[in-house]
Structure 1
Amino acid sequence: MGKMKDKDDLFESEEMKILEEARETQRHEGFISDLFLGEASFDYVRPFPEQSSEDKQKADEFIERLRKFLVEKVDPNAIDRDGEILDDVIQGLKDLGVFGLKIPREYGGHGFSQSNYRRIFQMVGSRCANIVALIAPPNSIGASVPILKFGTEEQKNKYLPQLAKGKISAFGLTENEAGSDPSRIKAMAQRVYNEKGEHIGYKLNGRKVWITGSVKDDGVPLGEYVVVVAKTKDDPKMSKKKLGLSTLFISSDLVGYTTPHRTRFGGLKAIYNGVLEFDNIFVPKENLIGPEGRGFKVADQSLAVGRLTIVSSCVGGLKQSLQIARWWCKKRVQWRQSIGRHEATGSRLVKIAYLTMVTDALAQYCAKLVDDHKDVRIPAMSAKVIATNHLWEALDNLMQIRAGRGYENYYSLKNRGEIAVGVERMWRDSRVNSIFEGENTLLSLASGREGTDDYKQKASALMEGDSKARLSAGLWMSKQLSKSFKRRLGSSHETFIYNQSKLLTYQLLRVGEKYRMTGLQKKQLVVGQLVARVYNLFLMALVLSYAEARNDKPLAKELADYFCLTVREEMTGAKWTTDWLLNGSHGRVDELAKRLMEGEAKWLEEGIISALEQEGVEI
């Protein structure tokens, strides 16, 4: 007799079915997925994958033109103060082709690689988060990505050239009651038939909220197009069939399309985000993107790479933070010496430096995975979590370093004669990054779901499979258990990563035994802790490889080594020991901070528009 399903079990529900059907089912490949299986596969990160000089040259001229425009036309502090981006700035960005960065050249776009796209958003992210919020959605999750991935040739030929020329598009998924749970979407697209009984389109009704890139002002659309995820059903006269979630491409000038409210937030004061309402809008059948009933799959898979936009912009913010911290730690004198020479403040500077280096490595690595057509599913969602957390942590430390001047706004500093940098603006703007495009806790849990897929499948086979399937699954579990006891001798970081990967396997087997692997998703705190271990080990391996590839760069090796030491101390609880008090990583802070203040790691700040230089400060 088969296993009876609990009708109240969320993980056997229709809600979970939507998420599971959206998953790409091919087996994961890469360093992170192998860690979940107890393998430290260093070949995935060594040698560190670098962007070729040939590819880099393809975007150099564009980046310089964009840099000049951002310096001359974009004032991030005025945009923050006024809550608006000037129309001539938006038009200038359109003229530069900024809304078609990855649209292939045959459709009129720039056709940039992910690595060049990363460089562009790193620079924009260092200058103005509101500009990132304007140009990121059309490039990362607006109409161009779903059309490129799932659209017909007719859709590509008709719409991509328009989008490349500056037609702005948004993606409408979220509703008041539908955030992470797409089953709660209420927007409804009902099939429409002609007199001959032919399906010709849909009648769309519903309401979407927090749609970035959609609303210029109350009642005024920003862009021309929106991709909407809605429930679809047949005309009741034809059948009562429910057709699942579907993705529809609609124009903002259609009768029945309104933008009643522009939303305002604590940060990103000039984000064009708001409410969309659809009242009996007719959408032609030709505007269906992807198969009917596969709308959430279109959304989820379009977001997979799109999340790397946030990662790249975070690197720009981190590099800006590092430069400001380095400058102020050296310039500000208290108790007869630069504040960076005081260990507590120096440790904050060092932390900002290694967070910047680790996140830069992560952004470059993921971009190259995309360019090389390698599996980026787990790395991309992991990178979004890590990068947004790192930027917030760095800015929080920068706020403490700048103290009152950090919390004081740009114009107040300026008006009383200070060298003004908008740390509090950067701090406010960065907070939402952990919510955008997949809330961080949910993405961490999703990483765990993907990483433990092999365990889940074997556990299901043990519980529900036939005798052959149970035998095969049992042997696999036995091999994993045997593997989990293996250890290597030595104190290197690589040995630590190897041994911890085996410990991770043991822990996964134990928690799977206790909570049942198929039900592990319910234990979110447990999964979160396991994923945090995976992230730490991955970042250690990645930053060591990144530093090896930059052995000619001052402080690269030392910062990587310090980061790995702090991770090890955290994971092993070493900070609570007498040995740490006497011999811990803190002993390296003074020298690292001194060298950072002397500018030895200025190479880590490359690729940004310096806020200090804009204020006349020589860095």
Structure 2
Amino acid sequence: MLQNVLLEREIYATEEHQMMRKMIQDFIKHDIIDYMDAWEQKGMVPRDLWKRAGALGLLCMDMPVIYGGSALDFSFNALFIEELAKEGISGPGFSLHSDIVAPYLLKYGSEAQKQQYLPLMAAGELITAICMTEPDCGSDLRAIKTTAVDKGDHYLVNGQKTFITNGHLCDLCVVAVKTHPGTEREGVSLLLINSDSEGFEKGPLLNKIGLKAQDTCELFFDHVKVPKDNLLGEEGSGFKIMMRELARERLTVALNAVGGAEGAIEKTLAYTSTRTAFKQPIAGFQNTQFKLAECAAQLQVHQTFIDRCTRLLSDNKLSAESASMAKYSATEMHSKVVDECLQLFGGYGYIWDYPIARMYANNRVARIYAGTNEIMKLLIARGLFKDLFLHMKTSKN
């Protein structure tokens, strides 16, 4: 419906993209929509859904064929993110698995690690998570307290991580740890830890405002023995790796936002065209028309910018500042659009049975995770005043 108003998005205009869109929509229709209520009550999706996505080739799509991927460019991953968001699908943490963990392994993993894990990830037979946030440490990753003490041929890991997407289902985690605790240069490193390791414990599912089908929980590490071969990248390079890869993570959040906003507008157009008040459709009132016109305009502007960022990422040219702009601006837009759309649903907008209610609850966290929007503004400002900050730092030294 919105395609009659918005410009066609060239990034998804190829025949391959259209075929992929149809497959994704069929997957959502036949394998997801009718099961959402049950998954929300259970707090997670079944593992079979991951295997189904893997069998369709929807996981790790931009990974090389030798590691089980399809060697597609990132725009196909982006399309999958948006199509799920349009329908308010929040349960399966596919994007974190394919767009965050998989690139960590591909770029920084050893050949043995890549061959061991990536094909299983692409098939949906091995589910992954990334563990950065801790109870006393959110956006400040340098402040993590989880430690990995060198014991010769292995590390001994102790600590706790929280708000972990795919936490309950995960088989493998990328865990941020300090490998030299108590020293001047404590050194943040990344370890691959299997969830069946002795001393690895999964906490109960967290009772969240939204994302109720997403298995978010805390993870605990009590003297977990991790082989040295499970080090991802070089020891002490974890912080640099995480900073490098956060641009992609933030773009995935922005993609989810534009997809979610488009879905909210489409559902509101349909509802206001059939729901009547004062003997006419709600869409007949000028206020309704103006509100949805404002929403559509904001969506179009953000789609254009996000498409540019998607191309830049595909070419390995997306800057941290642009990714921060995308994440900050798109999630703010998404929140405003969903709020306006819910208002047009009236009382029914507050009922969980209506997708707009789920969208309202689910999207709020997007302004918090992957770095809060306040942090995004700080990063953007640093880019704008880079020369000034460099001069100030030099002057202090």
Change (3 A) 1:77 1:319: farther
Give TM-score scaled by structure 2 length.
0.90
The one-letter code of the counterpart of 1:454 is: D
CA–CA separation in structure 2 for the residues paired with 1:82 and 1:241: 45
The residue type paired with residue 302 of structure 1 is: E
- Whether 2:175 is the aligned partner of 1:228: answer yes
Between the aligned partners of 1:159 and 1:84, the Cα distance in structure 2 is: 23
Q: Match for residue 572 of structure 1?
A: none
Give yes or no for the alignment of 1:309 onto 2:222. no
Decide whether the 8 Å contact of 1:99 with 1:168 is kept in 2.
no
Whether 1:117 and 2:77 are equivalent positions in the alignment is yes
Which of 74, 80, 94 is the matching residue for 1:135?
Answer: 94
Q: CA RMSD in A?
A: 2.4
- Report the counterpart of residue 355 of structure 2 in structure 1: 422
Q: Distance in 2 between matches of 1:97 and 1:84?
A: 22
- Cα 1:307–1:280 shift into 2, 3 Å: same
* Mapping 1:210-359, distance limit 5 Å: 210-215=163-168, 222-233=169-180, 242-335=185-278, 337-359=280-302
Contact 1:118 1:364 in 2 (8 A): no
Paired residue type of 1:404: G
Relative distance call for 1:86 and 1:190 in structure 2 (3 A) is closer
Correspondence for 2:31: 73
Residue 82 of structure 1, CA deviation: 4.8
Whether 1:169 aligns to 2:128 is yes
Larger Rg: 1
Are 2:352 and 1:409 equivalent residues in the alignment? yes
Aligned 8 A contact 2:24 2:83 in 1: no
Q: What is the CA distance between 1:191 and its match in structure 2?
A: 0.7
Q: Which of residues 160, 175, 179 is equivalent to 2:138?
A: 179
Listed one character per residue, the Cα deviations across residues 199-226 of structure 1 (whole Å, up to 9, x for unaligned) are: x2311111111111121xxxxxx12100
Supply the distance in 2 between the matched residues of 1:87 and 1:212 (Cα, whole angstroms).
14
- CA distance in 1 between partners of 2:319 and 2:264 (Å): 28
**In the alignment, is residue 206 of structure 1 matched against residue 159 of structure 2?**
yes
Give the equivalent residue in structure 2 for 1:373.
316
Q: TM-score, normalised by structure 1?
A: 0.59
Residues in 2 aligned to 1:258 and 1:81: alpha-carbon distance in whole angstroms: 23
User: Judging changes above 3 Å, is the alpha-carbon distance between structure 1 residues 60 and 258 closer, same or farther for their aligned structure 2 residues?
Assistant: same
Relative to structure 1, is the Cα distance of residues 225 and 101 closer, same or farther in structure 2, using a 3 angstrom cutoff?
Answer: same
Aligned to 2:374: 441
Instruction: Note the residue ranges of structure 2 that are not aligned, 5 or more in a row.
Output: 1-7
Instruction: Provide Cα deviations, 1:214-248, integer angstroms capped at 9, x if missing partner.
Output: 21xxxxxx1210000011128x9xxx675411111
Q: Out of 63, 68, 71, which is 1:103 matched to?
A: 63
Q: Secondary structure at the match of 2:376?
A: helix
Of all paired residues, the percent bearing the same amino acid is 28
Assess if the C-alpha contact under 8 Å between 1:329 and 1:346 holds in 2. no
> How far off its partner does 1:272 sit?
0.9
Contact preservation (8 Å) 1:50, 1:368: no
- For 1:78 and 1:314, locate their aligned partners in 2 and report how far apart those are by CA, in whole Å: 25
Q: Contact 1:129 / 1:429 at 8 angstroms: preserved in 2?
A: no
Residues in 2 aligned to 1:396 and 1:241: alpha-carbon distance in whole angstroms:
48
Tell me by how many angstroms 1:405 deviates: 1.5
Q: Distance in 2 between matches of 1:241 and 1:82?
A: 45
Q: Distance in 2 between matches of 1:453 and 1:403?
A: 47
Q: Deviations over 1:326-353 (max 9, x none)?
A: 2233333434544334333322111211
Say which SS state the counterpart of residue 233 (structure 1) adopts: coil
| CA contact 1:321–1:352 (8 Å) conserved in 2 | no
In structure 1, the partner of 2:117 is 159
User: Where does structure 1 lack aligned partners over 5 or more consecutive residues?
Assistant: 1-47, 194-199, 216-221, 411-420, 466-619
Contact 2:257–2:330 (8 Å) recurs in 1: yes
